[in-house]
Structure 1
Amino acid sequence: MLEVIDKGCVSEAHPVPLLFVHGAWHAAWCWDDHFLGYFADLGYRALAVSFRGHGGSSSDKPLRACGVDDYVADICSVADGLPVSPVVIGHSMGGLIVQKYLENRSAPAGVLMASIPPQGNYGSSLRWLRHRPWDAIKMAATGKALPYISTPERARQHFFSETTPQHVVDDCAARLQEDSPRISVDCLILRLPRPKRVTTPLLVLGAEHDGAHTCKEVRATARAYATEAHFFTGMGHNMMLEPGWKLVADHIHRWLGGRGL
């Protein structure tokens, strides 16, 4: 059973539901803090799913064996249960999962927030190896990343800006959980997106102080989908949890409204 946090109802102004997709080490809670209530109050139906083995979602196999295809299947499971195809909004690894989902599914629109680019997580992995080689070696040897991202110091480096209030960083760090080592390999080389198969219009968003994906990588994502990236100054990777989250949500709302959604 998948955990789905479901808020609000569709309205005449916003007849299409929004499905939010989290990134690695997170779960549906990262959308529930701000985004779901924000969009529900504006007349949207807003849902967030936790991938199998994350948050309150169970799994029929060990988490370490779960890969991109499993997480795509989770999105399909939720989307197929809705009256109409939802707008899909993915963050970080969830952005790559959204890209893979859209290879074979049509959607009214999609949003990629600080997403892994179509060329994969190579750049982020290389930076990790360069700056913290011993951590990278231990992660590769053990298949466990949580010890190296879940302290407040590391969580700030990876997910937040230098000015994010400490209580926001601490709260996120306490809720992070281990993810599948297989998904890391899938996102590095094995199951990369094929942009030419995606016909859904996409909004690509980036953060100025993203500790995971550079502005150059976000622009490459936008180019792959024949659009331009929009960046938020002063923000870190977890754009939905940063103090300026409403700027991001407002931008998505305006973009969707411009498309009649």
Structure 2
Amino acid sequence: MGETLEVIDKGSTTNAHPLPLLFVHGAWHAAWCWDAHFLEFFVDRGYRAAALSLRGHGRSATAKPLRACSFEDYLDDIDAVATTMPGDPILIGHSMGGFLVQRYLQHRTAPAAVLMASMPPSGSLASGLRWMKRHPWHFAKMSATRRSLPYVSTPALARERFFSATTPDSVVTACVARLQEESARCGTDGMRNLPKPELITADILVLGAAADGAVPPDEVVATARAYGTVAELFPRMGHNMMLEPGWATVGERIDEWLVERGL
């Protein structure tokens, strides 16, 4: 595919956990959001845990301008990393990454998947309308400039979208310092070529955050319903579930769920 992708890969598979975990980040983020806590957490429990940065994110290269990168490009990135791993990895996707995982599962196999504060199968239209209603001037400027980073990358805006009201300022500012521009195509890609849950056979755990400013609980519930399961919501937690102060409770639930399935 001609792209050099950043992959943070830690630990090794064990008899207890013979399949690797592959973590997929959301918009404006990169592999670092998983490396802050989650990768070591799962390595300590006997997993091989890897996180990729999609092209144009983190240290991953992109052969074309980021604004032109599509969800199909991002799916190629996930596939490129997954095919280098021993066996089909268990996929864990957050936000936009959760939407990509759903798309991935339509055509590729995986033993299981976890969706964390994921965009729902219905796509990003409702999210865009909420953003337009809450910040109409921001939305107008994004539409004109095709740039979205300025409207998520102040401490106040990042807290509104990614964190709960009680998250320490230090956590918010550390995240803000690492956010990057997102592809301008993502807004439209999130409204077309939607996942088809009826084609997906993998066992899926659906997790959400009760104080999420980006993906509200009702969308998490709708995602779970689409996959014939029940959403699990973490109270007083914001969108960035892997960085919030309660991140370990999320990790523990994922580990418990995987152990129950012999994974």
Q: What TM-score comes out, normalization by structure 2 length?
A: 0.98
Q: Hey, what's the Cα distance between the residues in 1 that align with 2:209 and 2:193?
A: 25
Matched, 1:119 2:122: yes
2:220 alignment partner, one of 198, 212, 218 = 218
Q: Hey, what's the Cα distance between the residues in 1 that align with 2:144 and 2:201?
A: 39
What does residue 41 of structure 1 align with? 44
**Offset of residue 184 of structure 1:** 1.4
Where structure 1 has 5 or more consecutive residues not aligned to the other structure, the ranges are none
Is this contact kept in 2: 1:68–1:191, CA < 8 A? no
Q: Which moved more, 1:45-54 or 1:59-68?
A: 59-68
Q: Hey, what's the Cα distance between the residues in 1 that align with 2:133 and 2:64?
A: 33
Q: Which moved more, 1:109-118 or 1:59-68?
A: 59-68
Cα RMSD (Å) of the superposition?
A: 0.6
Amino acid paired to 1:36: L
Q: Hey, what's the Cα distance between the residues in 1 that align with 2:25 and 2:213?
A: 17
Matches for 1:84-163 after TM superposition, within 5 Å: 84-163=87-166
**Offset of residue 60 of structure 1:** 1.4
Q: Which moved more, 1:115-124 or 1:45-54?
A: 115-124
**Offset of residue 103 of structure 1:** 0.4
**Offset of residue 191 of structure 1:** 2.4
Q: Hey, what's the Cα distance between the residues in 1 that align with 2:216 and 2:158?
A: 17
Amino acid paired to 1:238: N
Between structures 1 and 2, the one with greater helix share: 1
SS in 2 for 1:89: strand
Matched, 1:25 2:28: yes
What does residue 197 of structure 2 align with? 195
Amino acid paired to 1:165: P
Matched, 1:248 2:250: yes
SS in 2 for 1:43: coil
Q: Hey, what's the Cα distance between the residues in 2 that align with 1:26 and 1:197?
A: 28
Is this contact kept in 1: 2:147–2:181, CA < 8 A? yes
Percentage identity across paired residues of the two chains: 60
Q: Hey, what's the Cα distance between the residues in 2 that align with 1:205 and 1:194?
A: 19
Amino acid paired to 2:132: L
Amino acid paired to 2:196: R
Is this contact kept in 2: 1:2–1:51, CA < 8 A? yes
SS in 1 for 2:177: helix
**Offset of residue 140 of structure 1:** 1.1
Amino acid paired to 1:214: P
What does residue 181 of structure 1 align with? 184
**Offset of residue 221 of structure 1:** 0.3
SS in 1 for 2:54: coil
What does residue 237 of structure 1 align with? 239
Q: Hey, what's the Cα distance between the residues in 2 that align with 1:24 and 1:156?
A: 15
Q: Hey, what's the Cα distance between the residues in 1 that align with 2:153 and 2:238?
A: 16
Shift >2 Å, 4+ stretches: none
Matched, 1:10 2:6: no
1:60 alignment partner, one of 47, 53, 63 = 63
The alignment covers a number of residue pairs equal to 260
Amino acid paired to 2:239: H
Q: Hey, what's the Cα distance between the residues in 2 that align with 1:72 and 1:56?
A: 17
Q: What TM-score comes out, normalization by structure 1 length?
A: 0.99
Q: Hey, what's the Cα distance between the residues in 1 that align with 2:85 and 2:116?
A: 23
**Offset of residue 47 of structure 1:** 0.1
Q: Hey, what's the Cα distance between the residues in 2 that align with 1:66 and 1:102?
A: 20
Amino acid paired to 1:8: G
